[in-house]
């Protein structure tokens, strides 16, 4: 027999989250952004991701302008408890890491932060022409294991496997960095995190005019 009370509760929760999304999207859609709220964690905080409103996200991906608009409209309001390895957590302005998946054109700067009762996350592809942001990063590489190569590229020849084995990406060039499995490099220096966020918030994008 169907549990009607449970179904009604789940439906009411979906309506609540949809109404909350609409409330925030009234502001975000004016700058071409949209929020998706997926669930609520055990503390009652709503978990949300940010993306472009356009359907053509491949040719028009989330960029520095979008990150700047987001942080100005929905700024960080409190520290976030961040896992720093060895079963430990530290309060930091946000959770920040770099990661590049095989086949991705760029390394992503992955950020999770708290705004009031939201935990917001976004992924900013790092544009290496952005000198303002690149001052915090350096190039490195990691070795892909057989399972990753198989997952992303399928069955390849030994020659092709040798070519694909080393994946270049960007990591932080200073601060305290924790390296997790799969090429996730997390910055856990509060000062360096704050500097990177300030650079995004205050970027005047003069580097774009120089590169035109």
> Over the stretch 127-145, which tens digit does the pLDDT of each residue have?
999 999 999 999 999 988 8
**Distance between CA 50 and CA 69 in Å, rounded?**
11
> Can you tell me the mean pLDDT for 196-210?
91
What number is the average pLDDT over the span 65-81? 97
- pLDDT reading at 39 higher than 90: no
**What is the predicted pLDDT for the residue at 15?**
84
What is the pLDDT at residue 57? 62
Higher pLDDT pick, 89 / 159: 89
Write the burial class of residue 164 (CB in 10 Å: 0-12 exposed, 13-18 middle, 19+ buried): middle
Is residue 85's pLDDT more than 60? yes
Side by side, the strands of the sheet bearing 33-40 are: 33-40, 46-52, 118-125, 108-115, 95-99, 184-187, 177-180
Does the structure show a pLDDT above 90 at 28?
yes
Considering only residues 156 and 97, tell me which one the structure prediction assigns the higher pLDDT. 97
Going by their DSSP bridges, the two strands 118-125 and 46-52 should be labelled as: parallel
Name beta bridge partners: 179: 185
Total number of domains in the chain: 1
Which domain, by its residues, includes 198? 4-211
Flag whether pLDDT at 211 surpasses 60: no
Task: Pull the structure tokens for residue 28.
Answer: 């975000």
The angle subtended at Cα 42 by Cα 34 and Cα 53, nearest 5°, is 5
**Span 91-111, average pLDDT:** 96
Percent above pLDDT 90 for the chain: 66
Contact, 106 vs 98, CB < 8 A?
no
pTM confidence score: 0.90
Q: List alpha helices for the chain, DSSP H.
A: 4-28, 64-73, 131-134, 146-153, 158-164, 190-202, 206-211
Top-confidence residue, 56 or 199: 199
Other Cβ atoms closer than 10 A to 49: 15
Q: Are 146 and 162 contacting, i.e. CB atoms less than 8 angstroms apart?
A: no
């Amino acid at each position: 027999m169907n549990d009607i009370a449970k179904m009604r509760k789940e439906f009411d929760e979906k309506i609540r989250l949809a109404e909350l999304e609409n409330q925030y999207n009234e502001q975000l859609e004016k700058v071409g952004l949209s929020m998706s709220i997926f669930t609520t964690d055990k503390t009652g905080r709503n978990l949300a991701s940010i993306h472009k409103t356009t359907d053509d996200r491949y040719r028009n991906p989330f960029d520095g302008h979008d990150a700047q608009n987001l942080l100005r409209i929905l700024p960080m309001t409190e520290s976030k408890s961040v896992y720093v390895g060895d079963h430990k957590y530290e309060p930091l302005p946000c959770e920040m890491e770099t990661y590049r998946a095989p086949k991705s054109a760029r390394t992503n700067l992955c950020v999770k932060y708290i705004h009031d009762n939201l935990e917001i996350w976004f992924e900013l592809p790092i544009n290496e022409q952005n000198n303002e942001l690149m001052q915090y990063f350096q190039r490195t590489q990691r070795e892909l294991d057989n399972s990753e190569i198989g997952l992303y590229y399928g069955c390849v020849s030994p020659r092709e496997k040798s070519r694909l084995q080393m994946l270049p990406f960007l990591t932080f060039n200073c601060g305290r960095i924790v390296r997790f499995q799969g090429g996730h490099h997390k910055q856990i220096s509060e000062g360096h995190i704050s500097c990177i966020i300030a650079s995004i918030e205050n970027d005047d994008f003069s580097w774009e005019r120089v590169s035109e």
